[in-house]
Homo-oligomer: A and B are copies of this chain.
Amino acid sequence: MATSTRSSKRQKTDTNADADDKPFRLIYWLGIPGRGEHVRLAFEATGTRYTDVSNQTDEGVGAVLKQTGDDNNGDEHNPPAFAPPILQHGDDVTIWQTPNILLYLGPKLGLVPDAQDDPVGLYHVNALALTALDGLSNEPHDVHHPIAVILYYEDQKTEALRKAKDYRENRLPKFLAYFERVLDGPASAGGEYLYGGKLSYADLVLFQTLDGVSFAFPKCVGKIRDGAKYPKVWALYERVKALEPIKNYLASDRRLKYTLGIYRHYPELDDE
């Protein structure tokens, strides 16, 4: 398959002019949303062209293995990547780590506050994204893999059952309450988005992690939403989901289904 050629829905602006000059290549595992989804959403939300290398080119998953192989020491400008997602920008930039890729893309795609107006805004967005990734992505992953990533779920199911209970009862509410507090606070400038009254990549990360948690723990999340708990958090989730480019993306075949990645639905790990 060739690079996605859909036309941008967004007018070319100074903000993403740089983004259009050099091609963006996302290198991530084949066929799962995973952490790569945060990078996809940044591109999709801003109508930025990118190539999802494993899913859209003949390179396939070999593109990942080439980067993370034991014989890759990187190049003159770029240290080797530890793990995907990996972003290539033009010929000479290769960076990795999900929050780091978002940090790099943020100013280029207009997904952080303008540095002239608000030089600290970028750091707030980064902290909010890191916090959502910690509590609503890394921790849900560890629920089904509490002992070792190299073992099957079935080989750590006893431990997973115990960890899932703590996650549902303590950790998930703690993170949701925190983000509700952020949206209640004055720095959100009204509570529509996490920071400064405008969409940032932290909102996209929160949307995606809430979506994943809802897939993994539908009964638990259903009870929370039925109980009208954390209303601003769920309003933000619905607000991002309804953004025109996001809505179109979610309906497209570029949006991959959750399977055996970070977010897994094992009914025994959910509420009864």
Contacts and interface: CB of A to CB of B under 8 A. Distances in A.
A256 interface: no
Contact of A184 (B73, B177, B181): B73
Q: Which of A79, A80, A147, A185 has the most CB of B within 10 A?
A: A79
A82 interface: yes
A78 interface: yes
Q: What is the total number of copies of this protein in its complex?
A: 2
A201 B114 CA distance: 26
Given A147-B166, A150-B170, A73 B178 contact: no
A70 B100 contact: no
Contacts of A124: 78-79, 95
A80 B182 contact: yes
Interface in A142-199: 142, 146-148, 150-151, 156, 159, 162-163, 166, 170, 177-178, 181-182, 184-188, 194-195
Interface stretch (A5-13, A125-133, A206-214, A264-272): A125-133
Nearest to A195: B79
Contact of A147 (B80, B97, B162, B185): B162
B103 A126 contact: yes
Interface of A: 70, 72-82, 93, 95-97, 99-100, 103-104, 120, 123-124, 126-128, 130-131, 138, 142, 146-148, 150-151, 156, 159, 162-163, 166, 170, 177-178, 181-182, 184-188, 194-195
Query: Nearest 10 pairs between A and B by C-beta?
Result: A73-B185, A148-B166, A74-B185, A97-B127, A79-B187, A97-B130, A100-B127, A76-B186, A82-B131, A79-B182
15 contacts: A74-B181, A74-B185, A74-B186, A75-B187, A78-B120, A79-B187, A79-B194, A81-B127, A82-B131, A95-B120, A103-B103, A104-B120, A146-B146, A146-B159, A148-B162
